Amino acid sequence: MDRKLIPQGTAVLGLDLRTFSYLDAPEPVLRDIHLEVQPGSLTVISGHSGSGKSTLGAILAGLLPRHSMDQLAGTLSVDGSLVEFSDSSSPRIDIARWSQHVGLLPQDAGHYLSGIRGTVAEELAFSLENAGTPREQMHLKVTALAQRLRLDHLLQRHPDQLSGGQERLVALAALAISEPEVLVLDEPLAGLDQQATALVSELISLLRAQGTALVILARTHRLWEQEADALWLLDQGTLQRIPDAAQHQIRTETQHQHPAEGAPLMLSMESVRLSYPGASGPAVQDLDLQVSSGECLGLAGPNGSGKTTVLKAIAGLLQPVAGTMSVAGSTGLLLQNSSDQLFERTVLREVSFGIPKKSSLHQCISEVLEQLELESYSHTHPYELPASARRLTALATVLVREPKILLLDEPTEGLDEVGEAKLKEIIAAVLARGGAVILSTHDGKFMDSVAHRVHHMNQ
């Protein structure tokens, strides 16, 4: 930090924010927030998508306000020292030095990885390398952390070859290895399987025991209620204590009828083997799957067990190298990472992409946008959308083609509770019109509420 830090109280991180506005925004995104984080504490901040959780996380991590762009009025204190922001004074924060105290795991964990290292081990050691840590010390730290998180088998793998969940776990480990005093984790459990979730929880307990404070930003606080020292709800730009956890939960139970006996088969896979070009071994072997009209099948299994590969094969992006596969009707795939699916300049252009103006499907565009409550975002760039709206936009690009078989890869990742309710309605509608749905998710509760049966994939 350019500014001289002044010693203050005992909280390891404190924020006293009057207002925060992005450049050229008409209204402040955040206002009247007072937050203090004690060493070893667990603070959970929940809120719907677009409520400003990620913005708050970026402020705590020193990434916002951008110098001479955004407006912050208030004070930020870290490790007993204070930085003041006002309309007339906006000190520039040295991010590298700030991150020695406060580290942030972004919602898209892949962005935390450098992309310029050849193995997971090097990716874990990246911050230590830049800090000039001796090699033997780095090696010991990487090995110990990898063993604790059961990442040993991934250490020599190229970071590009990780599954979504593995990538998040590696990013979290890469963040934790520098041992900052505060870790801000934006949706740390999204896309993680049960084992990885348990490992992350274990790591969080361990870090807390060592005195590291954790701030968790999540769409729901229900997973953290038992352990959290403070539960907050971020609503309308300000923080409120959560008095009764149940109050803020939206009931979205949707009852599905089971598929009729003798319903026609929509998908049949027999002894299917799938492998990626250039890969040393198959990603999926001897897979048998059958899905009927009106049926919702869940794919479960640990990270890296091949769930995404199966969905890509059904969508026609990957041809089986052995076995037989027959698909009756059109397919539509929602990819795990929305950013991979969105490439146009506006939501409307995105959803309309590739649909001829004279096509009957063209009429569906406005219907789908309305159904997913995205009309107000029609002329917004997809990258500027809140995570949940971005996820729904990716879903809209799939639904507009009225697929008979809807394929969903970790569909609840990034969705808030309202978005999740929409998704359940969509699944029910596809099944009701005689289609089929195949989804992979680590969200057991969601899986139980929509899937008629679950196929377990083995690694």
Partner 1 sequence: MPRTIKLHPFTILAIAVAVITMTTAASLWWLSCAVMALCLLIAGWSGHLKKLAVLSGAMLLPTFLSLLLIHGLISRDQSPAIAQWGPLRVTIHGLEVALSLGLRTAVLVVVGLLCGLLIDRHQLVAAIDLSPVPPQLGYLLAASLFLLPQMAEKQRRIGEAQALRGAGTGNGRAGWFQRVRLRAVPLVLASMQDAQDRAVHLSARGFPAYGAHTRLRTVPDSPVQRVIRWTAAICAVLGPILILLLAAMGGN
Burial class (CB in 10 A: 0-12, 13-18, 19+), 245: middle
Binders of partner 1: how many residues, by CB under 8 A?
58
If binding is defined by CB under 8 A, does position 108 make contact with partner 1? yes
If binding is defined by CB under 8 A, does position 72 make contact with partner 1? no
- Could you say which residues in the range 164-193 bind partner 1, by CB under 8 A? 174, 178
Alpha-carbon gap, residue 457 to 301, rounded angstroms? 5
Alpha-carbon gap, residue 32 to 237, rounded angstroms? 8
Which of 383, 429, 432, 433 forms a contact with partner 1 (CB under 8 A)?
383
Dig out the tokens for 402 from the structure.
């009225």
Which of 7, 132, 243, 278 forms a contact with partner 1 (CB under 8 A)?
132
Which of 127, 220, 336, 388 forms a contact with partner 1 (CB under 8 A)?
127
If binding is defined by CB under 8 A, does position 367 make contact with partner 1? no
Which of 139, 148, 150, 273 forms a contact with partner 1 (CB under 8 A)?
139
Q: Shortest Cβ distance from residue 56 to partner 1 (Å)?
A: 16
If binding is defined by CB under 8 A, does position 117 make contact with partner 1? yes
Q: Which residues pair with 20 in a beta bridge?
A: 30, 72
Q: Shortest Cβ distance from residue 136 to partner 1 (Å)?
A: 10
Alpha-carbon gap, residue 359 to 306, rounded angstroms? 36
Residue 420: name the closest of 407, 429, 411, 432 by CA.
411
Give the 3-state secondary structure of residue 169.
helix
Q: Which residues pair with 82 in a beta bridge?
A: 6, 77
Q: Shortest Cβ distance from residue 278 to partner 1 (Å)?
A: 11
Residue 12: name the closest of 165, 302, 212, 210 by CA.
212
Q: Shortest Cβ distance from residue 1 to partner 1 (Å)?
A: 13
Write the CB contacts of 57 (distance below 8 Å, at least 6 apart in sequence): 104, 106, 184, 186, 215, 217
CB 283 within 8 A of CB 306: yes
If binding is defined by CB under 8 A, does position 204 make contact with partner 1? no
Cβ-based neighbour number of residue 209 at 10 Å = 9
Q: Find the part of the chain contacting partner 1 (CB under 8 A) among 8-16, 75-83, 98-106, 197-205.
A: 98-106
Q: Shortest Cβ distance from residue 101 to partner 1 (Å)?
A: 11
Name which of 124 and 436 has its Cβ closer to partner 1: 124
Q: Shortest Cβ distance from residue 62 to partner 1 (Å)?
A: 8
If binding is defined by CB under 8 A, does position 160 make contact with partner 1? yes
If binding is defined by CB under 8 A, does position 336 make contact with partner 1? no
Name which of 159 and 419 has its Cβ closer to partner 1: 159
Q: What is the dihedral of CA 127, 129, 130, 132, to 10 degrees?
A: 130
- Helix and strand numbers (H, E) in the chain are 12, 19
Which of 7, 134, 243, 281 forms a contact with partner 1 (CB under 8 A)?
134
If binding is defined by CB under 8 A, does position 401 make contact with partner 1? yes
Task: Give whole-number Cα distances, 122 to 135, 156, 177, 341, in Å.
Answer: 11, 9, 12, 29
Task: Give whole-number Cα distances, 133 to 102, 116, 130, 170, 178, in Å.
Answer: 19, 19, 8, 20, 10
Q: Shortest Cβ distance from residue 107 to partner 1 (Å)?
A: 11
Q: What is the dihedral of CA 374, 380, 386, 390, to 10 degrees?
A: 60
If binding is defined by CB under 8 A, does position 135 make contact with partner 1? yes
Q: Find the part of the chain contacting partner 1 (CB under 8 A) among 19-27, 105-113, 265-273, 422-430.
A: 105-113
Name which of 189 and 398 has its Cβ closer to partner 1: 398
Which of 56, 63, 313, 450 forms a contact with partner 1 (CB under 8 A)?
63
Binding site for partner 1 (CB under 8 A): 61-63, 95-96, 98-99, 103-104, 106, 108, 111-112, 114-119, 121-122, 125-135, 138-139, 142, 160, 174, 178, 312, 315-317, 332-333, 335, 339-345, 353-354, 383, 397-398, 401
